[in-house]
Amino acid sequence: MSRAVLSIGSNVGDSLAHLQSVVDGLGDRVLALSPVYSTAPWGGVEQQDFLNAVIVVDDPAADGYGWLRRGQRFEAEADRVRVERWGPRTLDVDVVTCDEVRSDDPELTLPHPRAHERAFVLIPWLDVEPEAVLPVDGEIIRVEALLALLDEHERAGVHRTRLALKRRSR
């Protein structure tokens, strides 16, 4: 079994359709799907808000690199262009965690090195896994506690929408 937590986001084009394309592409591998959130951009680049969600997935044939490659394929299919760090994008798919794997590989750092700093990851993740934990600096910390440590401004920039992603069986 390979269980992963993926964070997906978009703020260019039909953002909801870009997010839905990931859910559709993962099909029956989707175990849980968060509500869709509107979130202020992260990283200081002036741009419109993002739509974000978290997906918990499972595939016995995938490892962390397999989830990374799938995410990159979804990004390519959405015509993702990497121009500016933390800039606007049609689709961003991040592997937040994969099983208990820890990796310092620059291609795939696990758990995601900044997930604990991002309310747009933590809030939707708590929707689907209220007891979630995340290793940070060698210590296992409840996601709820990590969220409480974030600046109020960071948390206030994440708003649940009425938009919804739909699981569709293949």
**What CATH code would you report for 3-160?**
3.30.70.560
Going by pLDDT thresholds of 50, 70 and 90, the confidence category of residue 170 is low
Cα gap 86→95, rounded to integer Å:
16
Strand partners, 141: 134
pLDDT digits 0-9 by tens, 131-149: 999 999 889 999 999 999 9
Active centre residues (catalytic): 80, 89, 92, 94
pLDDT digits 0-9 by tens, 8-46: 999 999 999 999 999 999 999 999 999 999 998 877 777
Cα gap 109→68, rounded to integer Å:
10
CA distances from 157 to 100, 122, 129, 139 (A): 30, 12, 21, 27
**Residues 6+ positions from 156 with CB-CB distance below 8 Å:** none
Average predicted confidence (pLDDT) for the chain: 92
Average pLDDT over residues 106-125: 92
Domain spans of the chain, in order of start: 3-160
163 vs 108 pLDDT, higher one: 163
Q: How many whole angstroms from its chain centre is CA 85? A: 17
